Amino acid sequence: MAFGAFGGTATAVAEPAVRKRSKVALILLLPGILYLALFFLAPLVSLVLTSFQAPVEFGDIGQYQTAFKWENYTTVISTYGEHIIRSFVFALVATILALLFSFPLAYFIGVTLRRFPLVQALALTLVIAPFFISFLLRTLAWKQLLSDEGWIVTSLSSLQLLPPGTHLTGTAFSVIFGLTYNFIPFMTLPIYTSLEKLDLRYVEAGGDLYASPASTFFRVTVPLAAPGIVSGMLLTFIPAAGDYINASRDFLGSTDTAMIGNVIEANFLVLQNYPAAAALSLVLMAAILILVSIYVKKSGTEDLI
């Protein structure tokens, strides 16, 4: 399971005596399964039903009745197509940037620091440290740091690296920057888990067989880290595509950078256009499921999930 990468220590000591079906298993499973049926599956069904609803005739804003108005889907796709595409482009760019950032860091922690277990543990703590400070506040911190008065913009302008009058916040740059920063730990941890187990003798063998360092890296190290890379890309891409904090106007975005999450939030909580919000949510979920299954198939790691 891709997400098992977070659990870390999935080492089975001995295959325990597996018992056949019994009442005990049923008692153990039933409450949790019922709970998920009620608060995970039923909401999805309710999204499907809501997505086909039509406004009540002569009703107030936010009043809808059961219908089979599948035009809701064509309407949201034509109205918000731009937002949908932007979400996936932003999420993809952020995922690739997070991968480029994380791989050397994960290699450093998992391989270079191997001889110092305590330092290695502390370095891992530094990677997950952003999780311990509020998601919203750390994003706001970047907003202040990247603002026109912040030291980043002022020093880059004085070095003439930025043309005068350039804004960093409220642009595609700052939104992708925020998405990348916020999801880096989701990328670094699974890659670390793969690299930590990397047997360096394989890398040495590559060198012994006259492979250049680059071809050893791409033909030995990267394939051995593949499970971590796949997990990390999924763990980054999925939440990034649905995120609406980074792209929000009050955080790193502007109206020009609105992503699908912002549109769903606005339709549901502000405009009370529940059918549109529901249809968009299902479009997002379907698109993610399709992209993820293609990616998992292509990368040949189906047994991960």
Partner 1 sequence: MSTVTRFIGRYAIWLYSALAFIFLLVPIVYTIVYSFNDSRRSNIVWRGFTLDNWTHLCDAQGVCQAFGNSIFVGLTATLLATVLGTMIAIALVRYRFRFRTATTLLLFLPMATPEVVLGAGLAAEFLTAGIQKGALTVILAHTMFCVSFVVVTVRARVASLDPALEEAGRDLYASPSQVFVRVTLPLLMPGIIAAALLSFALSFDDFIITNFNSGAFVTFPKFVYTAAARGIPAEANVIASAVFFVAIIFVVASQLTTAARAKRLAREG
Residues 201-230 touching partner 1, rule: CB under 8 A, are: 213
Which of positions 52-91 make contact with partner 1 (CB under 8 A)?
A: none
Find how far residue 178's CA is from the centre of its chain: 12
CB of 174 to partner 1, least distance (A): 13
Which span (75-83, 157-165, 193-201, 231-239) binds partner 1, by CB under 8 A? 231-239
Rounded CA separation 92/240 (Å): 8
Is residue 63 a contact partner of residue 83, using CB atoms and an 8 Å limit?
Answer: no
Rounded CA separation 166/261 (Å): 27
Asked if residue 17 binds partner 1 (CB under 8 A), the reply is yes
Measured torsion, CA atoms of residues 282, 288, 290, 291, in degrees rounded to the nearest 10? 160
Q: Which is nearer to partner 1, 51 or 163 (CB)?
A: 51
CB of 222 to partner 1, least distance (A): 16
Strands, DSSP E only, in 69-211? none
Q: How many CA within 13 A on the CB side of residue 192?
A: 27
Asked if residue 46 binds partner 1 (CB under 8 A), the reply is yes
Q: Which is nearer to partner 1, 113 or 229 (CB)?
A: 113
CB of 28 to partner 1, least distance (A): 4
Rounded CA separation 176/90 (Å): 6
Asked if residue 108 binds partner 1 (CB under 8 A), the reply is yes
SS3 state of residue 118:
helix
Which of positions 163-182 make contact with partner 1 (CB under 8 A)?
A: 181
Asked if residue 118 binds partner 1 (CB under 8 A), the reply is yes
Is residue 255 a contact partner of residue 51, using CB atoms and an 8 Å limit?
Answer: no
Which of positions 243-302 make contact with partner 1 (CB under 8 A)?
A: 243-245, 250-251, 260-261, 264-265, 268-269, 274, 277-278, 281-282, 284-285, 288-289, 292
Which span (41-49, 72-80, 196-204, 224-232) binds partner 1, by CB under 8 A? 41-49
Using the rule CB under 8 A, which residue among 77, 85, 133, 294 binds partner 1? Answer: 133
Q: Which is nearer to partner 1, 156 or 282 (CB)?
A: 282
Using the rule CB under 8 A, which residue among 50, 231, 236, 257 binds partner 1? Answer: 50
Asked if residue 49 binds partner 1 (CB under 8 A), the reply is yes
Write out the H or E segment, with its range, that includes residue 65: strand 64-65
Is residue 279 a contact partner of residue 51, using CB atoms and an 8 Å limit?
Answer: yes
Measured torsion, CA atoms of residues 229, 232, 233, 234, in degrees rounded to the nearest 10? 130
